[in-house]
Copies of this chain bind each other. A is one copy, B any other.
Amino acid sequence: MKRYNIGLIGFGCVGQGFYEVLKANPSIPAQITKIVVKDASKERAVDRNLLSFNIDELINDPAIDMVVELIDDVDVAYDILKKSLSLHKPVVTANKKMVAENLSELISLQTLYKTPILYEGAVCGSIPIIQTIDRYYQSENITSISGIFNGSTNYILTKILEQNLTYDEALQEAQENGFAESDPILDVGGFDPKFKLSILVRHAFGHWVHPDQILHWGINKLQNQDFDFAKANGLKIKLVAKADYKNGSLSLTVAPHFVNAQDPLFYIDNENNVVIIDGEFVGRQTLAGKGAGSHPTGLAVLSDVKAIIYGTAYHYKIPLEFIIPDSVIDVYVRYDATTDFVVELFESISEKYVGKQSSYVLGSIKLNQLKSILNIDNVNAIVMTQEKKELQTTKLTYSYAS
């Protein structure tokens, strides 16, 4: 079997994890022969002879057969990808933003140059979800994909709800453990799971949705009273990504949700992720595992390297068209007196509390109405709830300390 020379670009948390898991597997016919890093002065636990500082030199090096790109910068990553493919060098990347925003073109480039790009490490860390959908569920009528797609926010939410850390303490812990993006707003603002949802939707439903088209908000506006509200009702808050298909309509959201103990998401804590697939033939499939971290994501990257050695490329579904509908969803919205007009936007209200400093309303609202209040400063928190019938049985009757 041919041995592959890998050019690695980026040696951060995932890059090092990949380096270590490859080293632990000497039977794989591949070795890293060059690593491009930004900072020449930084001490690193690798042979200095491997290090290089010029991306183009690495890509153009005829000794390099495969490019593994593990950097943050989207534009540079896209440039690496195009240049490598044009030289017929397969690319492995974990850059979810780059993949999500350019997926339609990425598919064309792969066809044009007959050279694969694989990106298992871009979605949900250690969970082999793209390969699983690609090889297993292309023959399935998938009706829904949902789950917890961001390890960092799930870690933060767990620490706040279960260990009473403050938001800032929890965020710092997540960063120290290597679970967080360099720019935390990508995680806590709900951007990161949107990129992943966009990628999974292309594979599962054959429809590319630019991440900008997905309605999302994050956990960064949640405050103590929202967590207290959850606790008082036996609920947890989880950042949930969701794609629901029905009759040609594809409803897509990334948002914090209240989940109760009957929901499988309730039990997915810390940096763990879960993907739940519902299909007509298969019923419900659940895949859970570590969604972030150096070794788990490094192993996902390694699985792509092996897949390229085995001659694998993704089998993309033929593009299909879907309508993205204006669904009615159930939410909890906390607001202050200056924004009490939000109440009028609701289709129906099941509970309302008005307080001196802060008020909240529980009810049903159209997605497009909700969109109009997402970025208003004094709307302090919005959390999606279970379906109404469940809400009623969980009796959300928390009284504010006044």
- Chain copies in complex: 2
Residues from chain B with Cβ under 8 Å of A267 in the complex: 264, 267
With A140-B299, A267-B267, A287-B287 in contact, do A135 and B282 touch (Cβ < 8 Å)? no
Determine whether A9 belongs to the interface, using a CB cutoff of 8 Å to chain B: no
A126→B287 CA distance, assembly (Å): 12
Residues from chain B with Cβ under 8 Å of A186 in the complex: none
Q: Are A307 and B126 in contact (CB under 8 A)?
A: no
Q: Nearest chain-B residue to A277 (Cβ)?
A: B289
Per the 8 Å Cβ criterion, residues 20-47 of A in contact with B are: 21, 24-25, 27-28
With A128-B132, A128-B136, A286-B288 in contact, do A281 and B303 touch (Cβ < 8 Å)? no
Residues from chain B with Cβ under 8 Å of A132 in the complex: 128, 132
Q: Are A135 and B303 in contact (CB under 8 A)?
A: yes
Residues from chain B with Cβ under 8 Å of A284 in the complex: 288-290
Per a CB cutoff under 8 Å, which of B28, B135, B286 touches A287?
Answer: B286
Q: Are A131 and B135 in contact (CB under 8 A)?
A: yes
Q: Are B281 and A296 in contact (CB under 8 A)?
A: yes
Chain A: interface residue total (CB-CB under 8 A): 43
Main secondary structure on A side of the interface with B: mixed
Determine whether A48 belongs to the interface, using a CB cutoff of 8 Å to chain B: no
Determine whether A295 belongs to the interface, using a CB cutoff of 8 Å to chain B: yes
Determine whether A127 belongs to the interface, using a CB cutoff of 8 Å to chain B: yes
Determine whether A62 belongs to the interface, using a CB cutoff of 8 Å to chain B: no
Q: Are B288 and A126 in contact (CB under 8 A)?
A: no
Q: Nearest chain-B residue to A274 (Cβ)?
A: B286
A317→B21 CA distance, assembly (Å): 17
Residues from chain B with Cβ under 8 Å of A303 in the complex: 135-136, 139
Q: Nearest chain-B residue to A307 (Cβ)?
A: B135
Q: Nearest chain-B residue to A313 (Cβ)?
A: B310
A38 CB to nearest B CB, Å: 26
Per the 8 Å Cβ criterion, residues 297-318 of A in contact with B are: 298-299, 302-303, 306-307, 310-311, 315, 318
With A128-B132, A299-B140 in contact, do A286 and B285 touch (Cβ < 8 Å)? no
Per the 8 Å Cβ criterion, residues 45-83 of A in contact with B are: none
A334→B219 CA distance, assembly (Å): 52
Q: Are A299 and B282 in contact (CB under 8 A)?
A: yes
With A139-B303, A306-B139 in contact, do A282 and B286 touch (Cβ < 8 Å)? no
Q: Nearest chain-B residue to A302 (Cβ)?
A: B139
29 contacting pairs across A/B (C-beta < 8 A): A17-B281, A21-B139, A24-B139, A24-B141, A24-B281, A27-B318, A28-B139, A135-B306, A136-B299, A136-B303, A267-B267, A281-B296, A281-B298, A281-B299, A282-B289, A282-B290, A283-B289, A283-B293, A283-B296, A284-B288, A284-B289, A285-B287, A285-B288, A285-B289, A286-B287, A286-B289, A287-B287, A287-B288, A311-B311
